[in-house]
Amino acid sequence: MCIRDRYIRLSELMGKIAGQLVDSNYEKVEIAYNGEISGKDTRPLTVSALKGLLEMAVGSGVNYVNAPILAKSRKIAVVESKSESAEEYSSTVSIRLSSGESTKMVAGTVVGDEPKIVSIDDDKVDIFPAGRMIFAKHINKPNVIGPCCMVLGKNNINISGMQVGRSEVGGVTMMVLNVDTDVSDAILDEVRQVPGILNAKLVTL
């Protein structure tokens, strides 16, 4: 699989994740290509990102042909940028959704042939996205992660993986829980009520 094909898959997954994490309708989509990937034809990546995004809003009728048309019809501005420089990885892609002062950003790369999410907003993460994932923004302090997991266990939700972002003690960071079954809105509300949890959303791929 060539580098561009690997990043096409990543871009669509990132679009699906961003589309499920965003809190409101967005007016602008900014897609940034950094490093080696910036020297490639990135138009298919942008279309893939739009397909992933719009599937979350419109449904399965979105495809690679009509995704740009749908974005235009919904008055969504799409802006691409490229830079040869990259920091930790040889190539990264980021998608930023914005509406007024509200933004949501997802960044990723490819390791081997596998898509990897490396940041959500300002939180560094290390996620190989798949299946069902709970993204929980929380305060980095004791007695937050345990009670959150207890809520899921009490409701017979099995946690198959966990990754916690890095931050200073008392800071705000992101926890991502891989779960084996669907999580209802009622259970998510229980998670949100755990002291120290600022927000929790289910992402399904």
Across residues 152-179, what is the average pLDDT?
A: 90
Of 125-134, 168-177, 194-203, give the lowest mean pLDDT range.
Answer: 168-177
The pLDDT of residue 102 = 86
Task: Say yes or no to pLDDT of 74 above 90.
Answer: yes
Q: Identify the CA nearest to 127 among candidates 16, 30, 14, 37.
A: 14
**Cα(117)–Cα(125) distance, integer angstroms:** 7
The pLDDT of residue 34 = 97
Across residues 50-65, what is the average pLDDT?
A: 93
Which part of the chain is CATH 3.30.70.260? 132-204
Task: Say yes or no to pLDDT of 204 above 90.
Answer: yes
Return the ∠ at Cα 198 (arms to 109 and 13), rounded to 5°: 25
Specify the CATH number of the domain 3-127: 3.30.1330.90
Task: Say yes or no to pLDDT of 2 above 90.
Answer: no
Please tell me the pTM assigned to this model. 0.93
Mean per-residue pLDDT of the chain: 94
The pLDDT of residue 105 = 96
* 196 — pLDDT class (breaks 50, 70, 90): very high
The pLDDT of residue 178 = 97
76-117 pLDDT per residue, tens = 999 999 999 988 899 999 999 998 888 999 999 999 999 999
Q: How are strands ordered across the β-sheet holding 91-99?
A: 77-83, 28-35, 91-99, 102-111, 114-120, 123-127
Which part of the chain is CATH 3.30.1330.90? 3-127
Task: Say yes or no to pLDDT of 169 above 80.
Answer: no
* 168 — pLDDT class (breaks 50, 70, 90): confident
% of the chain residues with pLDDT over 90: 82
The pLDDT of residue 1 = 62
The pLDDT of residue 60 = 86
Antiparallel, parallel or unpaired: β 28-35 and 77-83: parallel
**Helix-strand-coil percent breakdown of the chain, rounded to 5?**
30, 35, 30
Task: Say yes or no to pLDDT of 155 above 90.
Answer: yes
Specify the CATH number of the domain 132-204: 3.30.70.260
